[in-house]
Structure 1
Amino acid sequence: MPPNLAIRCGLVSGLMLAIPASAASMVFPVATTAQLVEAIRQANQSAEADVITLERALFVLDQIEAPDQRAALPTITSPIVIRGNGAELRRYALDDFRIFHVAADGHLRLERIVIAEGSLGAIRNFGQTELRRVQLVDNTASSNLAIIENYGEMHIDACEVSFNTIAGATRDAGTIVNWGQLTLTATTFEANVLSRRNAGAALASSVLNYGEATITDVVIAENIAGDYELNGSPQAPFVNLGNGRIELQLVRERDNLPAEALVSSSLAP
């Protein structure tokens, strides 16, 4: 299948991305990593919401396509939907990189896909990102502060965030760090492990929030937010810092460490 193969269509149903009735979007069938890279590049050239459909396969990511952002795939700069159909995007490389970087003018929607083994975290978002039925597993961020960094608007629904590691944090860190607007529903955080090099770094095994976060119907299980330090900075599944506002509903929690609190905030001066 040639990498530039695309099917033109006038309407794509079931998208949260707004598509004008008169707009002509593109559908890119993709079977290889090279085709995925080329499809993103072509979709970025259009202001319309384009759709990339993946075969259910392993897509090996072994090089950096967005060197200025240390990302395996081209920076997302337009509305793009990637329908994974159970496909897996997995880093196999000595170089450290994240999987996706979404620019301020980008809008990415990921559906039914596995994102694995990013070593600078998995996703950094400055625009709009939607994750639906996405598994974020086996990612690390030893020199970074999060598996997911959100500076824009992010919606996460029916996802699994598990077995990710942030080792030796020297500043505040979390599995997700939110500076923007985060809506998170029907999602599981399990077996994520964080550690820090000094007591001054706050650790959140689920969400570290500086922005506005609405979190509903989540499971938080068997995560570790560092070794407990009585006089250290906040460490908990959820940590709210600065002017952040966090709203929690229907949170089911079990066997997380430290076990002192579900939500922690800045220490009093």
Structure 2
Amino acid sequence: MPNLGVLAGTTAAMTFAALVAVPSPAHEKQSVPCNATALRNAITRANTTPGPAVLYLSTRCTYTLTTPDAGDLDNGLPIVTSEIDIRGNGSTIRRVSSADFRILQVEGPGGRLTLNNLTIRDGRDASGGEGGGGIANAGQLTLNDVQVTRNSTTQSGAPEMAAEASTDAEF
């Protein structure tokens, strides 16, 4: 009989270990190569995969947006609809185009974007809607050591950012 007790205890321990080892749906940290397509793809992947995402931009890279995002012509990047933390590493995201579009937009209720150590520049909103040449926020936006500069809009109000929800900024 002692062998059965050891076997039962071992089986329970193995079952518990198997339950603990199951991977969570959270994203792994993702490095984003220095190009606009890679950044668009990373944001799209973050929006469609359950759990928060952390995106690491290439150090001191300039991500140049020459065309609006195919999914929304008012924005250079896909609309943020999930929890995303972008670690900029001194990088810049900018628009260089004859087409008018803002850099990015955050939409609620799931849109939660944190930007760190990054510059957002040269966005231009001409949508006549949300405003914010650099960033339009209708979700939750946190800025840490971020410069939002040289953006414009045809809307009255703030050319750099437009907010309909919470925006926390630390410059």
TM-score (norm: length of structure 2): 0.75
* 1:153-196 residue CA offsets vs partner (Å, 9 max, x unmatched): 110012xxxxxxxxxxxxxxxxxxxxxxxxxxxxxxxxxxxxxx
Q: Give yes or no for contact 1:88–1:113 (8 Å, CA) kept in 2.
A: yes
**Deviation >6 Å, runs of 4+:** none
Distance 1:38 1:23 in 2: 19
Q: Which protein is bigger by CA-based radius of gyration?
A: 2
* 1:67-122 residue CA offsets vs partner (Å, 9 max, x unmatched): 54601000001000110000011100001010111111200000000100001110
Q: Which residue does 1:46 correspond to in 2?
A: 49
Q: Which residue does 2:7 correspond to in 1?
A: none
Q: Give the 3 Å change call, closer, same or farther, for CA 144–67 of structure 1 in structure 2.
A: farther
Distance 1:144 1:47 in 2: 34
Q: Give yes or no for contact 1:47–1:79 (8 Å, CA) kept in 2.
A: no
Distance 1:26 1:77 in 2: 18
Matched, 1:128 2:140: yes
What percentage of aligned pairs have identical amino acids?
34
Map 1:25-40 to 2 at 5 A. Answer: 25-31=27-33, 32-40=35-43
Distance 2:140 2:93 in 1: 20
Q: 2:149 aligns with which of 105, 114, 137?
A: 137
Amino acid at match of 2:155: N
Q: Give the 3 Å change call, closer, same or farther, for CA 108–66 of structure 1 in structure 2.
A: farther
Q: Which residue does 2:61 correspond to in 1?
A: 57
* 1:197-242 residue CA offsets vs partner (Å, 9 max, x unmatched): xxxxxxxxxxxxxxxxxxxxxxxxxxxxxxxxxxxxxxxxxxxxxx
- Structure (1 or 2) with the greater strand fraction: 1
Amino acid at match of 1:153: S
Q: Which residue does 2:117 correspond to in 1?
A: 112
Q: Give the 3 Å change call, closer, same or farther, for CA 90–68 of structure 1 in structure 2.
A: closer
Q: Give yes or no for contact 1:53–1:85 (8 Å, CA) kept in 2.
A: yes
Distance 1:67 1:44 in 2: 13
Map 1:84-103 to 2 at 5 A. Answer: 84-103=88-107
- Structure (1 or 2) with the greater helix fraction: 2
Distance 1:37 1:69 in 2: 13
Alpha-carbon offset, residue 53 of structure 1: 0.4
Q: Give yes or no for contact 1:66–1:75 (8 Å, CA) kept in 2.
A: no
Q: Secondary structure at the match of 1:144?
A: coil
Map 1:116-265 to 2 at 5 A. Answer: 116-120=121-125, 121-141=133-153, 143-145=154-156, 146=158, 147-158=160-171
Computed over aligned residues only, the root mean square deviation of the Cα atoms, in angstroms, reads: 1.5
Unaligned runs of 5+ in 2: 1-23, 126-132
Distance 1:28 1:57 in 2: 16
Amino acid at match of 1:152: A
* 1:100-153 residue CA offsets vs partner (Å, 9 max, x unmatched): 111112000000001000011100111101000001111112x12322111011
Unaligned runs of 5+ in 1: 1-21, 159-269
Alpha-carbon offset, residue 23 of structure 1: 5.5
Amino acid at match of 2:138: F
Highest RCO, 1 vs 2 (Cα 8 Å, sep ≥ 6): 2
